[in-house]
Amino acid sequence: MSVSALSLFRFPGSVSGLLQVASLLGLFLLLFKAAQFYLHRQWLFKVLQQFPCPPPHWFFGHKQQFPRDQELQQTLKWAQEFPSAFPRWLSGSNAHLVIYDPDYMKVILGRSDPKSHGTYRMLSPWIGYGLLLLNGPKWFQHRRMLTPAFHYDILKPYVAVMANSVQVMLDKWEQLSTEDSPLEIFQYVSLMTLDTIMKCAFSHQGSVQLDRNSQSYIQAVDDLTKLMSSRMKNVFHQNDTIYRLTPEGRRAKRNCQIAHEHTDRVIKQRKAQLQEEGELEKVRRKRHLDFLDILLFAKNEDRSRLSDEDLRAEVDTFMFEGHDTTANGISWILYALAAHPKHQQKCREEVQSLLGDGSSITWDHLDQMPYTTMCIKEAMRIYPPVFNVGRELSKPVTFPDGRSLPKGVIITISIYALHHNPKVWPNPEVFDPSRFAPDSAQHSARHSHSYLPFSGGSRNCIGKQFAMNEMKVAVALTLLRFELLPDPTRIPLPVPQALLKSKNGIHLQLRKLS
């Protein structure tokens, strides 16, 4: 009885003691984090002091100077003010060095630094660790394994597949468009590029453009690009646990599930097809395998198959990169041609003289449309779909002007600022395809790293030839069917999301040609 009474008497004191200990531990942790914050901030200030920029806020960094939807304009403003590079503070202890000088680009892209983990890891719940996010020996192994999927013998027959998908899209436009009603084209271009990648890389049967499940995938990808962009700019959403508890985090999780269900279905269908004896024999006779077949038949150095996780990561990565990036490129190119009718007409005449009615575009035609190619390249200079890439220095670096940085600094390679840098491109906002004329003085004198729509170095886009072919096919066949005009009431507003998107869509008037 007395023991019980004593226990009850001491219990409140024990709770009080525990609370005191917890409070002290919490205070210690807070002080530790504050010291860590301060020391890292001071280290960054010291290593970046060679690169001038406006003073950042102690906690929010340069957030106030980069208002939402004005980031690109502010980047270009600072790029003109500060030669070669400037530090951008994302928060009080998080800064990236933004570079936009060709010599700086050449140094960084010529190295083997890993992708910046802090930024790219936010994409991992969606696309996993495939070629885009992998680093080191595993990246090299996967890159070497997948390179044969882009051999020209594989790409040649894809041209007919691309043309078929484009014609389905154009048939839709013909039914939907009227002269008084502009069309938002990106959603249709996105379905078309998904249709193409599904048929070319994943041996899909049927038309994705008529499948409602595919439309939900497109919507999920569009939503994820916005959510990832928003998360990267929110200092409170950097922590994975906190982000998962937010409404945005829950929305991202739902959209990831939709995307994964789509890719899982693709893998399952192809595996089922390969169970058929005739299909398996047909694959064995191929000199070069398609993208998904390479993954399914691939073996690691220890002769084991790729894990389900690795397989899905590569499929998720290429599904996203292969359709959304290309769809953005095509949509911006069509807008640029709509906004510059003289160049549009010159491209149309070139295509008409080469293809007639366009019913039989082939691989050989793609190298016989030089002016159209020049216009495509100029549109991708002004509107690069991948507007920047990130690296984390794995060892110190010294740039050609003598400024240097230690290991651990994050570099943002601003392809958008490079392409709009007046020291590299005179009158950069002017649409001038002659910049890419093979015999022009500007072309011959151009720096090797002044134009990077597909990045550069060993980690350049593995599918760049596939993407360029698809862009040429889409532009050529569209110009044979329609005259393109911009919607003066809805001029596209470029905004940086996971890719360079238009905040208000890309609306065009489409006039059917007789």
The count of C-alpha atoms lying within 13 angstroms of the C-alpha of 474, restricted to the half-sphere facing its C-beta, is: 30
463, two tokens: 């599918």
Angle between helices 186-202 and 464-481 (to 10 degrees): 130
Whether residue 487 contacts residue 177, with contact meaning beta carbons closer than 8 Å, is answered with: no
Rounded-to-integer distance, Cα 435 and Cα 449, Å: 15
Residues forming a β-bridge with 89: 95
Non-local (6+) Cβ contacts of 378 within 8 A are: 336, 431, 432, 433, 435, 436
DSSP letter for each residue of 346-400: HHHHHHHHHHTTSTT--GGGGGS-HHHHHHHHHHHHHS-SS-EEEEE-SS-EE-T
Distances (CA, A) of 398 to 80, 114, 191, 325: 22, 17, 45, 33
Whether residue 469 contacts residue 366, with contact meaning beta carbons closer than 8 Å, is answered with: yes
Dihedral of CA atoms 167, 168, 174, 180 in degrees, nearest 10, equals: -110
Angle at 127 between CA 121 and CA 133, to 5 degrees: 50
Non-local (6+) Cβ contacts of 483 within 8 A are: 344, 510, 511, 513
Place of tokens 């594989």: 154
Whether residue 336 contacts residue 383, with contact meaning beta carbons closer than 8 Å, is answered with: yes
DSSP letter for each residue of 254-307: HHHHHHHHHHHHHHHHHHHHHTSHHHHHHHHH-SS--HHHHHHH-B-TTSPBPP
Rounded-to-integer distance, Cα 209 and Cα 196, Å: 10
**Is residue 299 exposed (0-12), middle (13-18) or buried (19+ Cβ within 10 Å)?**
exposed
134, two tokens: 């992998």
53 annotated as a binding-site residue: no
Whether residue 460 contacts residue 454, with contact meaning beta carbons closer than 8 Å, is answered with: yes
DSSP state of 57: B
Rounded-to-integer distance, Cα 135 and Cα 115, Å: 7
186, two tokens: 């990106």
Distances (CA, A) of 57 to 37, 73, 78, 118, 263: 14, 20, 17, 21, 43
**Residue list, annotated binding site:** 461
**Residue list, annotated binding site for heme:** 461
